[in-house]
Amino acid sequence: MRRKTALITGASRGIGRAIAQAYGAAGYDLFLTCLTSKQALQDLCTQISGAYGVCTHACCMDMGDWPSVQDLFSGIGELDVLINNAGISHIGLLSDMTPQQWRRVMSTNLDACFYTCKLAAQKMVAQKRGRILNISSVWGISGASMETAYSASKGALNSLTRALAKELAPSNVQVNAIACGVIDTDMNRCFSDEERQALIDAIPADRFGTPEEVAALALQLADAPAYLTGQILTLDGGFL
Ligand code: NDP
């Protein structure tokens, strides 16, 4: 029987790395990407294929670059699951942000998802099956001060999720998103101990989430009933 294939973007660290581990353990062949952490991604591929006997491919590339994404997809045959996880944050006042900084956030967090969804949808509609999962944020629902571009990119990603789900439902392709709360990864290393504690104090679960918790939900969504589509699932310890 053919093994299933998943493409997971931003898999060298944090949430994407945990999702790659979970999908590898579940027997998926994997296409994994990162921007610059080439060795870390290669080591992860070696570890996953050694542990689970699946095929892994590491691609170091900018997901916000359309020709690179086209190249990536030219090497992929059937695709069962696309997970748009690669993302960056930018913390600061909107009035201090440069157009280049704005563009970089939008390119990575939103343009990249358009590119991958476009190419994945072509495959999945032809296959009459497929799952797309976007890793989003609670800030895309509520908005966050000092993270306007990030909030806008994730809000747009949530709308993309709902709209594309309607477009692809007739073809048996499900599109959902996980809106994460604060997850303990490099993305939040910029916070001081005091800022970290203030955030924890605001979270009813009294802690940050773990990448493994996001990965567990991401894997469950691959096998969720096909009637579940167009949903933004909030995973935030009760934060919102
Ligand atoms: P990390 O900063 O730990 O990891 C980011 C990953 O994305 C890395 O693998 C990085 O590659 C990759 N990446 C960044 N830019 C690009 C690019 N242009 N092209 C290809 N890959 C890229 O982030 P997290 O694991 O915390 O976040 C993962 C996702 O979860 C993001 O979309 C984020 O917005 C979302 N999220 C995270 C939350 C959190 O609290 N951590 C909360 C809500 C949502 P490299 O190592 O090469 O730089």
Report pLDDT digits (tens) over 32-43.
Answer: 999 999 999 999
pTM: 0.99
Give the chain's domain count.
1
Distance between CA atoms of 91 and 96, rounded to whole angstroms? 10
Q: Which pLDDT tens digit goes with each residue over 156-198? A: 999 999 999 999 999 999 999 999 999 999 999 999 999 999 9
List, as one string, the DSSP characters of 76-144: --S-SEEEE-------S-GGG--HHHHHHHHIIIIIHHHHHHHHHHHHHHHHT-EEEEEEEETHHHH--
150 given a catalytic annotation: yes
Residue 240 is assigned to a structural domain of this protein: no
Q: Which pLDDT tens digit goes with each residue over 199-212? A: 999 999 999 999 99
Q: Which two tokens stand for residue 80?
A: 């069962």
Phi (first) and psi of residue 204, to 5 degrees:
-55, -35
Instruction: Say if ligand 1 is within 6 A of residue 107 CB.
Output: no
Residue 123 is assigned to a structural domain of this protein: yes
Task: Compute the distance from residue 173 Cα to the ligand 1 centre, in Å.
Answer: 25
Q: What angle do CA 179, 183, 186 make, to 5 degrees?
A: 125
pLDDT of residue 216: 99
pLDDT at 100 over 90: yes
Q: What's the CATH number where 207 sits?
A: 3.40.50.720
Residue 145 is assigned to a structural domain of this protein: yes
Give 2's pLDDT tier (boundaries 50, 70, 90). confident
Residue 129 is assigned to a structural domain of this protein: yes
Distance between CA atoms of 76 and 240, rounded to whole angstroms? 38
Alpha helices in the chain (DSSP H): 14-25, 38-52, 66-74, 99-106, 112-127, 139-142, 148-168, 193-201, 211-222
Task: Compute the distance from residue 186 Cα to the ligand 1 centre, in Å.
Answer: 8
pLDDT at 17 over 90: yes
Q: What domain range is 147 assigned to?
A: 5-235
Residue 128 is assigned to a structural domain of this protein: yes
Instruction: Say if ligand 1 is within 6 A of residue 237 CB.
Output: no
Q: What DSSP element (H or E) covers 178? A: strand 173-180
Task: Compute the distance from residue 3 Cα to the ligand 1 centre, in Å.
Answer: 27
